[in-house]
Structure 1
Amino acid sequence: MVLLFLEGAQYHKGGVREAQIRYKNEEHDTKHPGTWRNVLESLLISFSDQSIVTGQALLYVTYYWASCSISAYHYNLVCDLVLVSIVVHLCSITAVEQYLQNWWLGALRLALILLSFVFVGLVFVQRNTPEFPLSPPVIEDKNDTLLVRPAVCFMAENLTALYDDTVSAVKGGAKGIRKGLQSYIVLVVFFAAATVLSMAQAILGRDKFQRRMFQLRFALFWLRVAVAMAATVVSIMSIGNFSNLQTWMSVSGWFGEDDDDETTINEMPCTSDERNKRKSEEMMPKL
């Protein structure tokens, strides 16, 4: 996001002549990979490539394997994590001018990122029901929630008698319907714009189109600013939601003695095992 603002500010002030001088300086920087800009761009692309692998692995496990067993709480954590992941992709496409300089590698990255967007959309659509609990309960009712129930119970209105019997007693989770889906839609729109931007930069970056390239950079300054602002807002919201859910879970009593250990994989446990069933029966309100 810092690169987005620096890139826009660099080409916003001055005229075409000054931009031409900066363009020659950039060519010099490209030939010397030790410059700060090349280091930052390489770092951003590496983060994006890692997010492609880790994000798709998490999405695949959640959508095809664990969606019937993980709790609504963990499903919400996954949604927040993948939002941050695609923010990294969006920033890399928009900030790195030479993203499509290597056509086959750039096309492969865009195809994998597009696949990630499709998986994220499927995960969010499954959660887009009025019954799906999204928020932790209020402090005085910290154990009174449906977040610990299997997420599949609330998907596509696939409700059980559990929801019908307990919804009137549960204080948290129903508000904020479709929270996160709006952020995903905003990122999809900016992803499409960023892809067009990268393709235009790759095509107009040729020698015979250099003057148009300078003009294009001025016109796209505000697009970079908008992308940076959207990425910042979505990141803050996603990290905030993730932190709130984790903070609630750590004091709710739903974790067992060995669930909150650094050596355990406590972010993706299944709620269908016998221990969690017994704990659920003990802590849910008696009706």
Structure 2
Amino acid sequence: MAVKCSCQPCDFIAASSGWSSMANGVKNEYKTLTQESSIRMLDWNIPSSQSSCQAQGYNVTCNFALYTNATDLTTAQKLSPNTSITGPGLVKAFIITSVVAIGAAFVLLIDKACIYWNQYRDTDNAIRETRYYRRIAHTVEQLLHTLSDQQLTTGFALIFALSEQACTISAYHYDLVCAMLLMSFITHLNTLVSIPTFIHKGKLLALYRCAALIAQIVLISIIFSARNRAAFPARPSSLAIMPACCLMNMNASDWLGLADAGEFVSHLNSTGNNTSGTEIFSQAGQSSAFGQYIALIVFTGFTAVIAGVNWLEAREVDLHRWLRWVKLFVAAAVSVATLALTVWAYQTYNSLRAGMEVEEWYQLSKETTAWTFAEIVPLALLASTSITLVKALTQTLEGVDGPRYEGLVQVGVKRMAVEVREEN
């Protein structure tokens, strides 16, 4: 039995056209939303204020009356956990990386001292006596390189996650992120100070690493500078429950985060009364937040000088003997200081958590011991450094020498030849 279809060809065409138009509309809308999302992700949102966040569509309330010395808050008014950016697993990865980097830096400083000492000894005997030791130093150097690269990746992820949450993150969690970024910065300091070939060996790779490091240090400076305001709580306080955007220093991005350091120097040289521009230094200047900011700027300067001298050495510039030892002592002082900074950052992190995560201010019932994906990834990245470590150890056992002495021994041999020629 045949079935007669009453549909006309034009009906199919119209229906097809309708579905096609609808599909194109959905596609265009999805494309627009995707583009807007991508653009918003690429935006840098620090510093942010209540008005700038509201302009982006965030409902930000800055209730200073409620959170000043608050003692009786409802559950909804208390602070919620933010494990995606400040979870225990994340901070453990930063702490372990910083401690291992400091240990590796001290080993490489001893190695550098041996290099300088052996320049004035018989070159063949010096190399023969330290052949196996030099291979170990090469292994440590490769490990420190890998830790620095891993911290670049994790550090940028944390920085941009913080930027995305600039309008919603609490001042308390903002402080925790700053403590972790300080630990990340310490790893980079030790790498630049302890690895003499960092900025010249493999020019393209060195350029890439240096550009990434400079970009990260600039962003960290802006993040730290955003706390340089008397109202921003750097210690446990009910005000730290409030959104960080209610309390930020809106001049944080001036001079790429260096404006506060310049004003601080001017303030130290000034004998006049405090003005509104230097108000942060009379109050917030005594807080741990501003101290961390100044430490960041000062040690960046010292590290840049040391890296510059390393670059001159790598170009076989015959530096005076005393200048090399001065550089070595400064590098050792920076490494000791980074150890102190690590302890300071860790104590700051612990004291903040102990003081803030209390029943009075914190939703303890929402705290979970289960680790999130965001906490596991940094630890997995840290574990991946074992691949480089095993590879370097294998080279050591197989007798592959690391490039520890080549350049400096050449300089030493040239100097000895000149001295012998002068004596003759």
TM-score by length of 1: 0.71
- Cα contact 1:128–1:178 (8 A) shared by 2: yes
CA distance in 1, matches of 2:129, 2:305: 24
What pairs with 1:18-97 in structure 2 (closer than 5 Å)?
Answer: 18=121, 20=123, 24=127, 35-63=135-163, 65-97=164-196
Q: In the alignment, does 2:367 pair up with 1:259?
A: yes
Report the Cα distance in structure 1 between the residues aligned to 2:345 and 2:119, rounded to whole angstroms: 39
Specify the SS of the correspondent of 1:220. helix
Structure 2 matches for 1:100-139, cutoff 5 A? 100-137=200-237
Correspondence for 2:17: none
Q: Could you report, residue by residue, the CA deviation over 1:123-149 in whole angstroms, capped at 9, with x for unpaired residues?
A: 011111110000114xxxxxxx11111
Specify the code of the residue in structure 2 equivalent to 1:91.
Answer: N
Equivalent residue for 1:142? none
Q: Answer yes or no: is 1:154 the counterpart of 2:243.
A: no
User: Given that residues 5 and 228 in structure 1 are in contact (C-alpha distance below 8 angstroms), is that contact kept between their aligned partners in structure 2?
Assistant: no
SS of alignment partner, residue 134 of structure 1? coil
Q: CA deviation at 1:25?
A: 5.8
Structure index of larger Rg: 2
Instruction: Give the counterpart letter for 1:72 in structure 2.
Output: A
Matches within 5 A, 1:165-184: 176=287, 178-184=290-296
- Contact 2:306/2:327 (<8 A) preserved: no
Gaps of 5+ in 2: 1-104, 252-283, 376-424
Q: Distance in 2 between matches of 1:62 and 1:120?
A: 11
> Structure 1 counterpart of 2:299, which letter?
L
The AA in structure 2 aligned to 1:150 is P
Give, in angstroms, the shift of residue 120 of structure 1.
0.4
CA RMSD between the two structures: 3.2
Residue 77 of structure 1 aligns with an amino acid whose one-letter code is: L
Change (3 A) 1:38 1:11: closer
Contact 2:358/2:364 (8 A) holds in 1: no
Shift of 1:4: 4.7
The answer to whether the 8 Å contact 2:357/2:364 transfers is: no
Alignment of 1:123-272 (within 5 A): 123-137=223-237, 145-156=238-249, 176=287, 178-204=290-316, 209=317, 212=319, 217-252=324-359, 254-264=362-372
Deviation string for 1:144-177 (max 9, x for gaps)? x11111101101379xxxxxxxxxxxxxx99616
* Whole-Å separation in 2 of the counterparts to 1:89 and 1:22: 34
Q: What is the CA-CA distance between 1:98 and the residue it aligns to?
A: 2.5
Structure 2 residue identity aligned to 1:105: L
Separation (CA, whole Å) in 2 of partners of 1:230 and 1:252: 36
- Residue number in structure 1 paired with 2:197: 98
Please state how far the C-alpha of 1:53 moved relative to its aligned partner: 0.8
Q: 1:193 to 1:157 in 2, by over 3 A?
A: closer
Aligned-pair CA distance for 1:114: 0.4
Is contact 1:4–1:95 with CA below 8 Å preserved after alignment? yes
> Which amino acid counterpart does residue 257 of structure 1 have in structure 2?
S
| Aligned length in residues | 236
Q: Is the 8 A contact 1:55 1:85 kept in 2?
A: yes
Quick one: distance in 2 between partners of 1:257 and 1:46? 39
SS in 2 for 1:243: helix
- Equivalents in 1 of 2:341, 2:236: separation in Å? 20
Tell me which amino acid in the other structure corresponds to 1:98: T
Of residues 17, 24, 42, the one that matches 2:120 is: 17
Query: Structure 2 counterpart of 1:88, which letter?
Result: T
Taking structure 2 as the reference length, what is the TM-score of the superposition? 0.50
SS at match of 2:247: helix
- Given that residues 106 and 332 in structure 2 are in contact (C-alpha distance below 8 angstroms), is that contact kept between their aligned partners in structure 1? no
Secondary structure class of the residue paired with 2:306: helix
Report % sequence identity. 25
d(CA) in 2 for partners of 1:98, 1:247: 42
2:186, 2:342 within 8 Å by CA — same for their partners in 1? yes
Gaps of 5+ in 1: 138-144, 159-172, 268-287
Residues 29 and 38 in structure 1, CA contact (< 8 A), matched pair in contact too? no
Tell me the equivalent position of 2:111: 7
- Alpha-carbon distance between aligned partners in 2 of 1:19 and 1:213, rounded to the nearest angstrom: 19
Instruction: Give the SS at the match of 1:180.
Output: helix
Q: 1:22 to 1:156 in 2, by over 3 A?
A: farther
